[in-house]
Amino acid sequence: MEKIEHIGIAVKDLEKSNQLFASLFGESHYKVEEVKREGVKTSFFKNGPNKIELLEATNPDSPIAKFIEKKGEGIHHIAFAVKDIKAEMKRLAAEGFQLLSDEPKPGADNKLVCFLHPKTTNGVLIELCQERED
Ligand code: ZN
């Protein structure tokens, strides 16, 4: 893994949270993107070299809706940039980590992503992401 790519924060109201984080960082988000298949609407902020992703559920079955129901708003996942997501998935599966998908999936911000089950990572949902080349 290369570095932390972004930190994902689950929010109830993306519009309100966009304002809140804009005040916090002194800079507005630079993109909003809906990932229909995952039932989420996301927005991205830059803070120096770091990125923060806010996630709002777009339907009650969304993983974000379930997360907020259980734990409330807050840090949802930490995403790590990888060069070769398939190779990294294979390596981590062999190390005993549970992957949430067998194949990388298209994620927000032009990425291929795969998540690791938090029960195998000390309760932290980890996202692997590789920049897409299309
Ligand atoms: Zn993410």
Tell me the pLDDT tens digit for each residue of 93-117. 999 999 999 999 998 888 999 999 9
Nearest-CA neighbor of 92 among 70, 66, 117?
A: 117
Structure confidence at residue 108 (pLDDT): 87
Please write the tens of the pLDDT for every residue from 63-76.
999 999 999 999 99
Question: What's the pTM?
Answer: 0.93
CA of 94 to the centre of ligand 1 (A): 23
Please identify every residue whose CB atom is under 5 Å from ligand 1, which is an ion. 8, 53, 79, 127
Point out which residues pair with 15 in neighbouring strands. Answer: none
Query: Are residues 98 and 77 in contact, defined by beta-carbon separation less than 8 angstroms?
Result: no
Q: Is 133 helix (H, G, I), strand (E, B) or coil?
A: coil
pLDDT, position 79: 97
Q: Is the pLDDT of residue 134 over 80?
A: no
Distance 53 CA to ligand 1 centre (A): 6
Of the candidates 21, 78, 64, 79, which has an alpha carbon nearest to the alpha carbon of residue 46? 21
The span from the CA of 57 to the CA of 35, in Å, is: 10
Predicted local confidence at residue 25, as pLDDT: 94
pLDDT, position 113: 95
Number of Cβ within 10 Å of residue 83's Cβ equals: 10
